[in-house]
Amino acid sequence: MLARLIALLLCCCAAGYSARAQTPDAAPRQKADPNKFALIVSGASGEEAYAKQFAVWTKRLHGTLVGKLGFAEERVTVLTETPAGTAQAQATAEGLRRAFAALRAATGPDSTVFIFLIGHGTFDGKQAKFGLVGPDMTAAEYAKLVDGITARRVVVFQMASASGEFVKELAGRGRIVVAATRNGQEQNATRFAEHFLGALDGHDSDADQNGRVSVFEASACAARQTAEHYQRAGRLATEHAVLEDNGDGVGSPPGGEPDGALARTTYFDSLTAEQAAATAEVGRLLREREQFEEEIEQLKARKRQMREDAYESELERLFVGLAKVNRSIKRAAR
């Protein structure tokens, strides 16, 4: 049985590689994906050096989302400490409530929502907060705002200090939560956001070389580069990123287990952008392939709770389906 599964896996990989090689990655992009939304919150800085740093990170993130990853300008909301013109609003508690109200009105069951928090956080042993202009909001308050969003998937990048305490509150079905720290005790200013932005812009994060960067890949790359930053500086690391996407409220180091099933198949770009010159049939098959890949990752996460024969039988079924889809993609892309 094991040998058979390995043979199927190799078949899937070979077919997948061939299909990806024929995918027109260099094709012109289509119009921005109307089902993708982003909210960027750059909180209170506390001092000028951080104000400049947060402003640079915010501008860079916005530019990457809109200029490279197919987010429509009007579907990216930016809240900052010092708004720049009418395109931004102030990062206050009331500003956040209005932004989430707009998301609730605009999103639906086919939507994917990305939320990015850049700034400082605190934890007093009971409550974790993210620093805003004026009164701060607790992790529980953010959870209530997120609960009101109807979307296929919600991805939260909490990149502030003490952000690990947000994981339990924000975890849920169809959600991915990435935090710069593993708990509330890590309260020093973080560098995770800088390396996350590098992962979005660069090619090193595309671990499977499929021309796309998933939430899993970007998070793992950013966590690795953050650790390397402290090593090069000869300093003890004061932040350790975690990722949670199985709904249990307990984060794992990005790249570890048992989390990662949803994050591996959630991408920042869109099939509509990537497949601008492809046929509708290829697009349909690619979505079907993503479904098989997601089911395989979810099955791996449940392996310890299953009998070995049941696990291998289900894995074989999924690999067979994936191999067939990859062969169909290869034929359709010719």
> Distance (Å, rounded) from C-alpha 298 to C-alpha 276?
29
**Average pLDDT value for residue range 165-175:** 96
pLDDT interval class at 140 (50, 70, 90): very high
> Distance (Å, rounded) from C-alpha 242 to C-alpha 182?
6
Return contacts of 7-16, CB within 8 angstroms, 24+ apart.
Answer: 8/316, 8/319, 8/320, 8/323, 9/319, 11/319, 11/323, 12/319, 12/322, 12/323, 12/326, 15/323, 15/326, 15/327, 15/329, 15/330, 16/210, 16/289, 16/322, 16/326
- How high is the pLDDT of residue 9? 52
- How high is the pLDDT of residue 276? 44
- φ/ψ of residue 216, rounded to 5: -60, -50
Burial class (CB in 10 A: 0-12, 13-18, 19+), 299: middle
Whether the per-residue pLDDT at 28 is higher than 60: the answer is no
| More confident site: 210 or 60 | 60
- How high is the pLDDT of residue 325? 87
Share of the chain above pLDDT 90, in %: 70
Q: Each residue of 198-217: pLDDT tens digit? A: 999 876 788 877 778 999 99
The CA angle 218-221-225, to the nearest 5 degrees, is 135
Q: Each residue of 215-233: pLDDT tens digit? A: 999 999 999 999 999 999 9
Choice among 10-19, 72-81, 266-275 with the minimum mean pLDDT: 10-19
Average pLDDT over the chain, rounded to an integer: 87
**Average pLDDT value for residue range 8-28:** 44
pLDDT interval class at 333 (50, 70, 90): low
Q: Does pTM surpass 0.85?
A: no
Residue whose C-alpha is closest to residue 250's, from 169, 190, 305: 169
Question: Which residues does 210 contact at the CB level (< 8 Å), separation at least 6?
Answer: 16, 20
Whether the per-residue pLDDT at 278 is higher than 60: the answer is no
Whether the per-residue pLDDT at 122 is higher than 90: the answer is yes
> Distance (Å, rounded) from C-alpha 170 to C-alpha 173?
10
Cα of first residue to Cα of last residue in the chain, in angstroms, is 33
- How high is the pLDDT of residue 274? 45
- How high is the pLDDT of residue 256? 79
pLDDT interval class at 30 (50, 70, 90): very low
**Average pLDDT value for residue range 100-111:** 95
- How high is the pLDDT of residue 208? 78
The helix-helix angle for 48-67 and 192-201 (nearest 10°) equals 20
pLDDT interval class at 332 (50, 70, 90): low
State the CB neighbour count (10 A cutoff) for residue 140: 14
Choice among 136-145, 264-273, 292-301 with the minimum mean pLDDT: 264-273
Are 239 and 191 in contact, with CB atoms under 8 Å apart? yes
